[in-house]
């Protein structure tokens, strides 16, 4: 099995233990938020971790890549918070999940969790909350 796959599986499994919420499903791929509305397998929320672009940070010899920085995307979604609902149905539970994820990122030993496939993990920032209006 490839290292990228093992990294994503190990990190997401560890994150699921840290969040410890049975109303959230954990997936390893990105989904357009509009497509989630029709899914019946999501009890309340969804956290997805997936690989994004890689940036080579160090080259050696004849410009051969040596060290790199791998970026991962992490989507946190609350299902069935509708356009006219107040924040208690969408933004506040989403904030609670986000806080759990950030707490995990601050404490996780990525080297141990991924059996030294990656050495460190850092948090760079987040986009704003998007509320999708589905008709």
Confidence (pLDDT) at 7: 95
Select from 30, 21, 34 the least CA-distant residue to 48. Answer: 30
Encode pLDDT of 2-28 as tens digits. Answer: 899 999 999 999 999 999 999 999 999
More confidently predicted of 45 and 26: 26
Kindly list the domain boundaries of the chain, sorted by start residue.
Answer: 3-113
Q: Whole-structure pTM over 0.95, yes or no? A: no
Phi, psi of 48 (to 5 degrees): -125, 135
Contact residues for 121 (Cβ-Cβ < 8 A; gap 6+):
11, 105, 108, 110
Encode pLDDT of 95-116 as tens digits. Answer: 899 999 999 999 999 999 999 9
Confidence (pLDDT) at 1: 59
């Amino acid at each position: 099995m490839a290292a990228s796959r093992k990294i994503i599986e190990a990190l997401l499994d560890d994150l699921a233990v840290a969040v410890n919420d049975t109303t959230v499903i954990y997936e390893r791929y990105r989904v357009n938020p509009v497509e989630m509305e029709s899914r019946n397998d999501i009890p309340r929320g969804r956290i997805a971790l997936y690989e994004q672009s890689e940036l080579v940070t160090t080259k050696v010899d004849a410009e051969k890549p040596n060290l790199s920085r791998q970026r991962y995307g992490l989507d946190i979604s609350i299902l069935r918070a509708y356009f006219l609902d107040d924040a208690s149905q969408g933004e506040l539970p989403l904030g609670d999940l986000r806080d759990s994820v950030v707490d995990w990122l601050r404490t996780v030993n990525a080297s141990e969790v991924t059996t030294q496939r990656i050495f460190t993990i850092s948090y760079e920032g987040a986009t704003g909350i998007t509320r999708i209006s589905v008709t």
